[in-house]
Structure 1
Amino acid sequence: MNVIGIHDGFVSTAALAMDGRLVGMASEERFTRVKNQGGFPNNTIRWLLDKFSPPKIDFVSLAGKFPPIASPDYYRHGRHRIYDALAGGIPSAFQRSHVFRSIINGCCARTIRQRIATTAAALGNFGISAPIAAYDHHTCHALAALHTDPSYTPEERAIIISIDGSGDLLSGGVWETQKHQLRQLAAFSSFDSLGILYSRTTLLMGMKPHEHEYKIMGLAPYASAALAQRSASVFRSYFTLRDGLFPVNRSGAWGGRMVKRLHRDLFLHRFDSIAAGLQTVFEELYVNLIANWRDHTGVSHVIVTGGCAMNVKANMLLAERLGGKASVFVMPSGGDESIALGAAMAGIPSGDISTRPAMAHLYTGPSYTDEQCFAALNAFPGRLRWDRPERLEVTAAQMLAEGKIIARCVGNMEWGARALGNRSILADPSRIDTVTRINRVIKQRDFWMPFAPSVLSERASDYFLPLPALSATPYMTTGFRSTDLARKHLVAALHQADHTGRPQFVSEHANPPYYALIKEFERVTGIGAVLNTSFNLHGKPIVNTPTDALETLLNSDLDGLMLGPYIVTRRD
């Protein structure tokens, strides 16, 4: 059975499962070159059909029953503005009720039917006439997380917790799972959304919601404890936990009204104080909520997903809290880009996935042949030099050891928000001057934002204090406290204020060429890691094609590029 899963909202994505196994997945932004591209993922679906040539599409699964938000601009109009107004006049207890959601669902039944009809028309352009069904937004989050967890076994009883912004009138939920069957234990209303609190504070600080929350997290450690607590006291007055198990928004505000209230309550608070106060309270709520559900259910394995699960500092504290009680797996890219995968899994008959293997890696996007790379090189006459070294990784490792900053566009593009080596900018992590150079003249991004290290898996304990609760850590999902050696070898790839790191632990079986590169760099320098940041310029999505990679090389201060089998540099 061949199933396409579609998320047509912000960071729209499509996934193809054939005979119960994911074969390809990518986000539309990588094809249109518009960061966080929303709307129907036409280009991604075309790529899936061309690449994998399924003889027939048997079923199409939509992630979410309501038409999703395709851009943050939508908050200025549409149903979010209506809900914003309702939130100020309807008792909060009623907004949390199943009755309220049933009324809204009933009023919007026609909208849901139109969504499926619109999807059918779009799929008709590809000759697809398969049945279509729409699945709950957060159930898709849960199924995607389950499918990416290599440590979960079907016989095991586990819980999946989704903590998000808003989708299908909810901000998250809790499921118990065993033998790949889900039983919902709880649902969190949109009015009580921890994600909305974080995104509206991001907007308050003049940044883009759904995109720049990571900047708030990165800024937080720079504030003093006193300043952090001053702002934290404001955020604590907004949210609490009921019975330790349900987030409760006691501010009476939501959406735009929340921004106005935050502006009033945080007037004259410093920007770093606001960031630190928000992060502190978010960590308290997030960790306590998940830990309390673990204690409430008594399970030995916890799976965490949703947009809020992208907060690596909170995940670090969660892993420390659960140590000795349960193992925890964090969905590799828990934002809405993941729900296309969950939708695809939802559309597969349960018997077809009962023995399914978890995804072994996230390299599910396009790859390009040597001939395609060569053709792209020749499309820029007189502007490039290139060589095809006999030992590509050896040459690249030597360049890194010499202090050069190079990019890597090799193999299948990774899916998700984080670059995992195949579409990455790499550098020597021991050179602190690298931070300024990448931020100013390559990435053109805010000075306080940290980079991440890609670390040989066998060197993990040399550089980071262990988190025994974590069941898998190859995807940069969790912060780690660093060792003294890391503060020497990896200084440029750690947070400059608190010296934590967000490592990708690289094993040979997951990505042999990338592992070989880092291993050669270790042989030359003694350092078992490289600095890794996404291969893109500020405001652009991560590169996809050889042409994307070459254009980025030509419009930045990169010293070189690994493109397929080639090493490429600019002509001066």
Structure 2
Amino acid sequence: MLLLGLNGGLISASGPSSEASQGYLHDASACLLQEGQTLAAVEEERLNRLKKTDLFPVRAIQECLDIAGKTLSSIDAVCYYFEESFLDVALNKNYLANRDQKIKYARARIVEHLKSSFDFDLPDDKLFFVPHHVAHASSSFVRSGFRDALVVVIDGAGEDHSGTIFNASAAGLKPLATHSARNSLGAFYLHGTQMLGYTFGDEYKVMGLAPYGDKGRYGEIFESLFTLKPNGDYTLENTRDLNIGLTGYNFIAPAFLNAGFFPRRRNEPFTQLHADFAAGLQATLEKIILHVLKYWSQELSNPNLCFSGGVAHNSTLNGAILASNMFPKVFVHPASHDAGSAEGAALAVESKLSKGSLPHLRITTASLGPDIGSPAAISSRLDSWTDVIEFHRADDIVEESAGLLAEGAVIGWVQGRSEFGPRALGNRSILADARPGENKAKINDMVKKRESYRPFAPAVTSNAAKKYFDLPTPVADYRYMSFVVPVAEAYQSTLRATTHIDHTARVQIVYNDGYNELFHRLITRFGQLTGVPVLLNTSFNNNFEPIVQTIDDAVSCFLTTSLDVLVAGEYVVKRRYADESNLALLCPSLRKTTKLATETRIAGLDELSRRYFLQSEGRGSTGSEISEEIYNILQCADGRTPLNDILDRFQSVGDRSELIQETRTLWDRRLLDFRPAARGI
């Protein structure tokens, strides 16, 4: 049986701009499942380059089919990750608010997308809708490999619930309890995130800020926002009759406004008060969830735990769950957020159609996405960039890369199939020596272009993990960077680049088991050269884009950051230019989600003022005001003409080097694309 699992919005990139985005349909993805095995899984953002995209996953579907060598005509079922009735009610709200929209409900929209994008007519009896939390629970339980478990799903909301507790066994998922959307802990943490000047998708940043703060400063205020109740229940206060969804009323804000704590503004420096707020927010989340888990661990007599939903990516919380010793084994799926529910929807439908029990197929790798390509394909693509890079094929890529890392280089590392989920686990990574503390500052500031407080994860070989980290007693799968644990006291001063302010780290343990062999060899060889088999590992992207997928993505990120070296497959890549002038040999183009715009205002009597913008339409994206010169230049940016040639058309316009630098800044922010000029035959 071959099943296609889908997650994401019901609008397409080519849809009319009047179509309102549905904020809860985010992290679009596709998954191809056959007889319980995941053949391929990929998030749409890796392909359309829009972080947390809410578009229908057209590219992800095609990639899954290509990886598996299948076509849509061979699919037995298409499985979507929300209930049909819920989606139709939500669409109806859009239609009531937007009278010009053509009415078309969820089933018809999915069928239409598959027809328009793939010329495939999906039979009505092959389309299935799965309750959101059932999708989350199915992927978590099946991929844990446990025979039975307590499955806890906590997120912003799934249909009417923000939390669901299941008793899972071979017979299926038995719901035990639910928590309403008004008691959403996902929304609670999001609202705290918004108070710190961030937005949806930035919750992990708050988790990193929390250890710098004093959770007691605002403890009384946070305590006033919830009530713990018997039987693992709780209520959030001040949420009655309020819409507290992803875009609704922020119920945390009034209590803190009364205490003199105001929402942080974009680009406002972080203060100790902000850190104290983050600490209180994190502590409150942990207190409520541990209360829920304690009851159910006792009720089910010390079961194994599968934890899923967006909140399960809070790795500090996961570390606290391990430290509580409430469960003998704990599993967190590497794609516990909504992207992973595409797999869960397919697993749930497979179980239904086969009239069998849920399988127990433990996940052993998250590398389920598209491959970087053969050596010949990599070389061919790199060769097209040789106006701005130079590269060579290493005799031994592990030996050369380990030597570079031991000498202090920060490298981009691109190998094999991309990972499914938000973590880079050794195939789309930025790597560095985990020992020098200055590597943290360098990568945050010059490479990732993000806040200085943000921590980095250590990747360690399995035989050295217990030496460098204090792993709790419960059994957990540390392959996927899902748990924050204490760094062993003897090595806190050694691993300065990856030891957080509270002496913890979000550890990744790398095994020599055939699934991440090259990465294991690299860490092992680095350990032989330095005496410490631990590398700093963070995702290969800057702050404005998703993790890189292709060679072009990797080269673009390499050229717009301060990475020392790019390693792609067996090739070592370095920059060819010492300044920005060679950038003008590349061809600029607007992205599909950016457009030029002007604004004219009356500046005085008989005087008009005009401003120029490059606007972005992606989720959470912001545009940029640009100069008139750049506005005129970008009108000629067709992706085929080198920037030098465009500048030659405007010889009297501005300083050439300044114009090149301005376009470089727009590329840094991923508001523009640059690609090599086509080579003559």
Q: TM-score, normalised by structure 2?
A: 0.74
Structure 1 equivalent of residue 202 of structure 2: 212
SS of the aligned residue for 2:492 comes to helix
The reply to whether residue 60 of structure 1 matches residue 84 of structure 2 is no
Q: 1:214 to 1:142 in 2, by over 3 A?
A: same
Aligned mate of 1:372, from 353, 363, 377: 377
Structure 1 CA distance for aligned equivalents of residues 314 and 274 of structure 2: 19
The reply to whether residue 267 of structure 1 matches residue 260 of structure 2 is yes
The CA deviation string for residues 141-166 of structure 1, in whole angstroms up to 9 with x for no partner, is 1011113214x13xxx3110011111
Structure 1 CA distance for aligned equivalents of residues 227 and 62 of structure 2: 46
Q: Which structure 2 residues correspond to residues 46-125 of structure 1 after superposition, within 5 A?
A: 46-54=62-70, 56-65=74-83, 114-124=105-115, 125=117
Q: Return the offset for 1:470.
A: 3.0
Structure 2 CA distance for aligned equivalents of residues 548 and 33 of structure 1: 9
Q: Return the offset for 1:53.
A: 2.5
Question: Which structure is richer in relative contact order (CA contacts within 8 A, separation 6 or more)?
Answer: 1
Aligned mate of 1:344, from 332, 343, 346: 346
Q: Return the offset for 1:382.
A: 2.2
- CA RMSD in angstroms comes to 2.2
Structure 2 equivalent of residue 89 of structure 1: none
Q: 1:504 to 1:78 in 2, by over 3 A?
A: farther
Structure 1 equivalent of residue 551 of structure 2: 546
Aligned mate of 1:32, from 32, 48, 51: 48
Aligned mate of 2:512, from 508, 519, 538: 508
SS of the aligned residue for 2:165 comes to strand
Native 8 Å contact 1:291 1:318 kept in 2: no
The CA deviation string for residues 374-395 of structure 1, in whole angstroms up to 9 with x for no partner, is 1211121321111111110010
Q: Return the offset for 1:353.
A: 6.4
Structure 2 equivalent of residue 416 of structure 1: 421
Which amino acid in 2 is paired with 1:332?
P
Q: Return the offset for 1:290.
A: 1.3
The reply to whether residue 170 of structure 1 matches residue 173 of structure 2 is no
Structure 2 CA distance for aligned equivalents of residues 148 and 19 of structure 1: 14
Q: Return the offset for 1:180.
A: 5.2
Q: Which structure 2 residues correspond to residues 507-546 of structure 1 after superposition, within 5 A?
A: 507-509=511-513, 510-546=515-551
Structure 2 CA distance for aligned equivalents of residues 188 and 268 of structure 1: 29
Native 8 Å contact 2:133 2:164 kept in 1: yes
The CA deviation string for residues 233-253 of structure 1, in whole angstroms up to 9 with x for no partner, is 212211123214123112235
Structure 1 equivalent of residue 190 of structure 2: 199
The reply to whether residue 318 of structure 1 matches residue 321 of structure 2 is yes
Native 8 Å contact 1:244 1:288 kept in 2: no
Q: 1:249 to 1:128 in 2, by over 3 A?
A: same
Q: Percent identity?
A: 29
Structure 2 CA distance for aligned equivalents of residues 45 and 532 of structure 1: 29
Structure 2 equivalent of residue 246 of structure 1: 233
Native 8 Å contact 1:201 1:262 kept in 2: no
Native 8 Å contact 2:232 2:292 kept in 1: yes
Q: 1:543 to 1:353 in 2, by over 3 A?
A: farther
Q: Return the offset for 1:262.
A: 4.5
Q: 1:494 to 1:333 in 2, by over 3 A?
A: farther
**Bigger Rg, which one:** 2
Q: 1:177 to 1:421 in 2, by over 3 A?
A: same
Structure 1 CA distance for aligned equivalents of residues 171 and 549 of structure 2: 33
The reply to whether residue 360 of structure 1 matches residue 364 of structure 2 is yes
Kindly report structure 1 stretches of 4+ aligned residues shifted beyond 6 Å. Answer: none
Structure 2 equivalent of residue 302 of structure 1: 305
| Greater mean alpha carbon deviation, residues 48-57 or residues 181-190 | 48-57
The reply to whether residue 234 of structure 1 matches residue 229 of structure 2 is no
Which amino acid in 1 is paired with 2:345?
A
Q: 1:404 to 1:67 in 2, by over 3 A?
A: farther
Native 8 Å contact 2:334 2:420 kept in 1: no
Structure 2 equivalent of residue 134 of structure 1: 129
Structure 2 CA distance for aligned equivalents of residues 565 and 422 of structure 1: 13
Which amino acid in 1 is paired with 2:173?
L
Structure 2 CA distance for aligned equivalents of residues 365 and 355 of structure 1: 22
| Greater mean alpha carbon deviation, residues 508-517 or residues 352-361 | 352-361
The CA deviation string for residues 337-385 of structure 1, in whole angstroms up to 9 with x for no partner, is 1111111111213546644522211000000221221121112132111
The CA deviation string for residues 19-49 of structure 1, in whole angstroms up to 9 with x for no partner, is 3311000100000111111121000001112
Structure 2 equivalent of residue 100 of structure 1: none
Q: 1:246 to 1:265 in 2, by over 3 A?
A: farther
Native 8 Å contact 2:221 2:256 kept in 1: no
Aligned length: 526
Structure 2 CA distance for aligned equivalents of residues 262 and 117 of structure 1: 44
What stretches of structure 1 of length at least 5 have no aligned partner?
Answer: 83-110
Structure 2 equivalent of residue 102 of structure 1: none
Aligned mate of 1:468, from 462, 466, 473: 473
Which amino acid in 2 is paired with 1:57?
I
| Greater mean alpha carbon deviation, residues 141-150 or residues 433-442 | 141-150
Which amino acid in 1 is paired with 2:449?
Q
Aligned mate of 2:400, from 395, 401, 404: 395
Which amino acid in 2 is paired with 1:398?
G
Structure 1 CA distance for aligned equivalents of residues 494 and 84 of structure 2: 49
Q: Return the offset for 1:54.
A: 2.4
Structure 2 CA distance for aligned equivalents of residues 491 and 417 of structure 1: 24
Structure 1 CA distance for aligned equivalents of residues 357 and 449 of structure 2: 44
SS of the aligned residue for 1:364 comes to strand
Structure 2 CA distance for aligned equivalents of residues 128 and 272 of structure 1: 53
Q: TM-score, normalised by structure 1?
A: 0.88
| Greater mean alpha carbon deviation, residues 340-349 or residues 485-494 | 485-494
Which amino acid in 2 is paired with 1:279?
Q
